[in-house]
Structure 1
């Protein structure tokens, strides 16, 4: 027990924590993107609103959510600590030794990229998470014909909504839910917010390309057998597919919906 604190507070310990929290956050991004793809379904938000309810009420997922919030905070704090200690350790020598010329732009600007992402997260949580959890979204009722699978919907008032509920009457499934889908549609009619989301996803791409590779390097996966796979995942999955997937959502609602 007495040896744990020096290890965690050392440079290696801080990098280890950064790596583990970073990989956890990368894993969450994959799951979150898959879930949010429900936004592209032409069903008035039926699939997405059911997904939103599951994500906020299913006990195991709620536990993972708390781990997610903790990981974001820890990752940000340790990133700040590492940045400040690195600058203090080499305020002049870095420039004199040509460090900038020998390092990539995103590796030198992880702090700036991380700050953009933090601002994005605060904006994202305010627009969606906060409003959903504080009854600031509209309410909707879906009627699904179980024989044909056809779904119809109508907006309902707050007085008609008491809680998420699903009932079946005459082979018709009736679902009452908070309409987070409509809140997403409303938010992404703001061109300024759409532009900011796209910029944030560009920052996320550069952040993940370097961060994902760096995390595995810190964990000791530097063998030539693993490096090509890790580099390929960092560039194509976390640098291209995931950021583009998230960026397409605001663009879809603004230009298509």
Structure 2
């Protein structure tokens, strides 16, 4: 079995200006399910552009859409597996430098995905020992890391072999010992409908926490696999 994951982020990773930073993604265990959702979502976007008299070439980014339109797009993803990592910047160490920030963001994404997969197995949605390959497509951004591994390698090595945390004298076993490969691509969301889906989810989560909207947060907890960090 292969996993297909699409991810985007909301907020600015700067505790001086933001309280929260959010990763969010959608996940498919079937290529056919992925392709069907993509086709239907493109049709929905086309309909919205026609109704709102938006240029066919313009990207429907959540940050530029009215709440009603965002809710319409988000509700269309009700049957899709959704996950999110919410970083409370107020509680986070003050990371300085692009490299160190990127290393933490890679860690956060990896941990959020790992915990989501374990929950999916617990809920009998998938079996970790049946996963062979993981394909991840993220909205492109500046990639920098002062760590040994990039995102692809850190996910592959921890999921397949486990990890030893020397700082906390702890060892965590592999969760997908038969994993063959992990592929990570950074792409322009303008040309990728499923990254735009992730954009809608990340914005919905981010604005809910930013505005401390209790009703929406409670709703999200029933719809999205959410991990809080640190």
TM-score with structure 2 setting the length: 0.26
Q: Which has the higher contact order (CA 8 A, sep 6+)?
A: 2
TM-score with structure 1 setting the length: 0.24
Bigger Cα Rg? 1
Compare the two structures and name the one with the higher helix fraction: 1
